[in-house]
Amino acid sequence: MTETNQQDIKHHDLAIIGGGPAGYAAALYGASAGLDVAIVEMRKLGGTCLNVGCIPAKEFLESAAVFQTVLSAKEFGTEIDGVPTINMAEVQARKQQVVEKLVKGLSGTLKSRGITVYSGVGTLAPNESSDPEKSGAPKKVLIKNTESTATTENSKKSKPSTTQNPSTQETSTQETSTQETSAQEITADHILLATGSKPRQLPESTGLKVDGKTVVTSDEILSWDEKPESVAIVGAGAIGVEFASFFSDIGSEVMLVEALDDILAGVDRDIAKVVERSFSTGDFFNSQNFFVMICMPFLGTFF
Ligand SMILES: Cc1cc2nc3c(=O)[nH]c(=O)nc-3n(C[C@H](O)[C@H](O)[C@H](O)COP(=O)(O)OP(=O)(O)OC[C@H]3O[C@@H](n4cnc5c(N)ncnc54)[C@H](O)[C@@H]3O)c2cc1C
């Protein structure tokens, strides 16, 4: 049931919907300029980057780099008893600790700068003014709090493991049904939409429907706590290449599939060439487990 407390409508100079890097950077900037700023965030502060993007991906890479260093320790005169193995559950736990520390740090920074954080889904509420663009007319944001009430079998049985970590963002493929529990309204002179993006689904014709189990996005991978034996990555952009590097380094068999002529489209070609060369030299990738497929003939199949 929805409850809106009409008596206590707070007003801010700037209300930002979305607490990711765009939203929190704008909030800090606004606060440093003396504005009363609010952020409305429906999941975790820090958005994709801190929770299911840049930071966790870099932590995975760091673990893979340590593993590779240990594997080659003998070369450097360090003797290790037995064969080193990677423990994905530990990799996962360490990554999550780093993420939580950063999210907590961000939350503290926002608080210390006097920025108000509202938890819930922000939507633009209809403006009572006959001219919504009228200068000075306060704009309204409705903040709805929801509660998860059910989880589908898909998300429960995800393999290797996509068990939802309480601190990660809810994955886009999880079919949790939510129930609205309460709603609150705020007003602001200015509203900034910084709602980010979510992983793209492939067209139905590909047959690659994200099910959170066999076909997954980066969101689910970042909560895996078991190493997959093999993985096919569709798309050799920065994120695809990053995951390819991680999985090949920890010993999974990797196939990286790219529809374009080159990997890392949009990246400086000299840099992309160095990365591409490393696929065979093993400089950045464990080339024994690694295979790149430039799949022009299969364009119709994948895209
Ligand atoms: C695996 C991966 C690795 C990446 N690595 C890098 C990297 O190394 N370097 C780099 O520069 N970039 C990287 N990125 C990209 C980076 O994460 C994004 O560019 C960045 O997060 C975008 O910031 P944003 O604030 O625009 O959106 P987001 O980070 O997506 O934040 C948007 C926020 O808005 C919230 N929100 C959405 N709708 C509402 C609503 N109605 N009400 C309330 N809240 C709402 C969301 O919950 C979210 O927290 C990576 C991305 C991924 C997926």
Residue range 204-294 forms a domain whose CATH class is alpha beta
Strand order in the sheet with 116-119: 116-119, 37-41, 10-17, 177-193, 139-150, 121-125
Domain ranges of the chain: 8-51+91-145+180-193, 204-294
User: In angstroms, what is the span from residue 54 Cα to ligand 1's centroid?
Assistant: 9
Q: Is the pLDDT of residue 199 over 60?
A: yes
- Decide whether 8-51+91-145+180-193 matches 204-294 in CATH topology: yes
Distance between Cα 49 and ligand 1 center (Å) = 5
pLDDT of residue 153: 36
pLDDT tens readout for residues 2-33? 444 555 789 999 999 999 999 999 999 999 99
Q: What is the mean pLDDT of residues 87-97?
A: 98
Ligand 1 first shell, C-beta below 6 A:
17-23, 40-43, 47-49, 53-54, 57, 121-122, 194-197, 218, 239
CATH architecture, range 8-51+91-145+180-193: 3-Layer(bba) Sandwich (3.50)
Q: At residue 301, does pLDDT exceed 70? A: no
Residue nearest atom 16 of ligand 1, based on CA coordinates: 49
266-278 per-position pLDDT tens digit: 999 999 998 888 8
Average pLDDT over residues 103-122: 98
pTM: 0.84
